[in-house]
Amino acid sequence: MITKEVIEQFRVTPGKKLKLKDFDTGFTGTDEQKRLAKEKATDILDKNREHLATAQNLLYANDRHALLVIIQAMDAAGKDGTIKHVFSGINPQGCQVYSFKVPSAEELDHTFLWRHMKAVPERGRIGIFNRSYYEDVLIVKVHPELVEKSNLPPGPRDHRFWKDRYDDINAFERHLVRNGTIVLKFFLHVSKEVQKERFMERLDRPDKNWKFSLGDLKERGYWDMYQDAYEDALEATSTEVAPWYVIPADHKWVTRTAVADIIVNTIHDLELAYPKLSPEQLKALAEAKKRLEAE
Ligand code: AMP
Ligand code: MG
């Protein structure tokens, strides 16, 4: 496992001013340190995949908690790959992934939290949000004309408007946590240079062409506005009950290992054990065994 101190570096301290520039996107160290770290990270990821499978089983057996994992990032930061690699070992029945796209007309006729409320995981399961209601304070904040598409009553779309949205999000997450859902939020922090490299790869490799979208290039033009929107959102919504983690995303192995480790550690901290049966239940099991043996 990664040490708690390293994990702590990724955590956004609630109530503190946040500058994304203070968070690494890459890995600082010599080439040799990097090679060793990568080897170690791959090992840790493999082990954590196994731990996650066990942890998920315990979550399911206990049927008291759910885990909601929210993943947000700029394009090409590795959301899809992280989900694929971190969750590949777990029972598909205990896990659900939702990828939130541009809202439909029906969704726009409801509040911005509605479609997400319907998708939160039930007790015993892990739910993954690939994008989330945070888009409503990110892309929608960068492109305020999107607010006008959402049929809201008229009113100023000023500082107060966005603050109200952060408050709604915090209240929603607090509600989930109070009712047994653990909420973990990851911002995959990629540099502008690495995003360019990954876009180039999508253009150059026929097997990756499908991943390229001109829209992504357009959004890249708003890079600084997005970084500002992320800073505001993370600062306002990293809470003790539902913290944000800023995960370096220039190296895929760093991202995947860190995300898996934080999830495993969080479930581990719940100290779940398989449910203990009562003496009556144990007696019933013994009787069932006897009946089967007598067949
Ligand atoms: P992808 O994740 O690449 O499949 O793209 C999904 C697209 O949906 C992205 O461009 C998101 O910015 C967009 N999207 C997700 N949620 C919203 C939202 N609430 N309002 C507007 N666009 C959104
Ligand atoms: Mg995309």
Task: Please write the tens of the pLDDT for every residue from 75-90.
Answer: 999 999 999 999 999 9
What pTM does this model have?
0.95
Q: Which residues of 28-37 are buried (b: 16+ CB within 10 A; e: fewer)?
A: eeeeeebeeb
Ligand 1 atom closest to the CA of 213, numbered from 1: 3
Q: Is 191 helix (H, G, I), strand (E, B) or coil?
A: coil
Closest ligand to C-alpha of residue 115 is: 1
Handedness of CA 79, 81, 85, 91 (dihedral sign): positive
Query: What is the rounded distance in angstroms from the CA atom of residue 161 to the CA atom of residue 183?
Result: 24
- Give the relative orientation of helices 31-62 and 79-86 as an angle to the nearest 10 degrees: 60
Q: In what order do the strands lie in the sheet with 181-189?
A: 95-99, 126-130, 66-73, 181-189, 244-248
CA 132 / ligand 1 centre spacing (Å): 9
Which tens digits make up the pLDDT trace of 254-265?
999 999 999 999
134 burial level (CB within 10 Å; 0-12, 13-18, 19+): buried
Q: Which residues line ligand 1 (CB under 6 A)?
A: 99-103, 131, 135-136, 139-140, 146
> What DSSP string runs through 103-160?
PPHHHHTS-TTHHHHTTSPPTT-EEEEES-GGGGGTHHHHSTHHHHTTTPPS---SHH
Beta bridge partners of 246: 187
* Ligand 1 mutation pick, 106, 114, 131, 213, max ligand atoms within 8 A of CB: 131
CA 76 / ligand 2 centre spacing (Å): 7
pLDDT at 2: 73
- Which residue ranges of the chain lie beneath pLDDT 70? none
pLDDT at 7: 85
Residue 246 burial (CB count, 10 A): 24
Of 267, 270, 265, 256, the residue nearest 71 (C-alpha): 256
Query: What is the rounded distance in angstroms from the CA atom of residue 90 to the CA atom of residue 134?
Result: 26
Of 263, 262, 239, the residue nearest 176 (C-alpha): 239
CA 139 / ligand 1 centre spacing (Å): 8
Query: What is the rounded distance in angstroms from the CA atom of residue 270 to the CA atom of residue 260?
Result: 16
Residue 230 burial (CB count, 10 A): 24
> What DSSP string runs through 193-251?
HHHHHHHHHHHH-TTTGGG--HHHHHHHTTHHHHHHHHHHHHHHH--SSS-EEEEE-SS
pLDDT at 250: 97
Query: What is the rounded distance in angstroms from the CA atom of residue 187 to the CA atom of residue 74?
Result: 9
Q: Which residue minimizes the CA distance to atom 8 of ligand 1? A: 101
pLDDT at 260: 95
Beta bridge partners of 96: 127
